Amino acid sequence: MSKKVKKLKPPDLTQCQAEKPNGCTVMTLGGRPGLVRCQAAPGWIVTEKKPGEDGQIGSMSLCDDCLEVFLKQMPDGYAEIKRIRADADA
């Protein structure tokens, strides 16, 4: 049986596509720990250099702050980074 390959979503040019913790933890009263999508405007498109296990190369839009986190978490050379907004800084 062949695996069904999930169609990738294209980069969103209106909103960062990173997910951040929602601020709830096991120690907070009420709420459920989870992730929420970043609300900032994107300034960058990050594209994987090599295909994943599914054979696809993914890309996503990131704001300046989320790009900074990405660069700390991912190895050098993992992705190509392109500016999409003239006022982006990194």
Query: In this structure, are residues 16 and 37 in contact, taking their beta carbons and an 8 Å threshold?
Result: yes
Q: Distance between CA 56 and CA 6 in Å, rounded?
A: 9
The pTM for the full model equals: 0.81
CA distance 1 to 41: 41
Q: pLDDT of 12-37, one tens digit each?
A: 999 999 999 998 988 877 788 899 99
44-79: pLDDT as tens digits: 999 999 998 899 999 999 999 999 999 999 999 999
The C-alpha atoms of residue 7 and residue 30 are separated, in whole angstroms, by 35
Here the tokens at position 75 are 């190895």
- The helix (H) or strand (E) run that includes residue 69 is helix 64-73
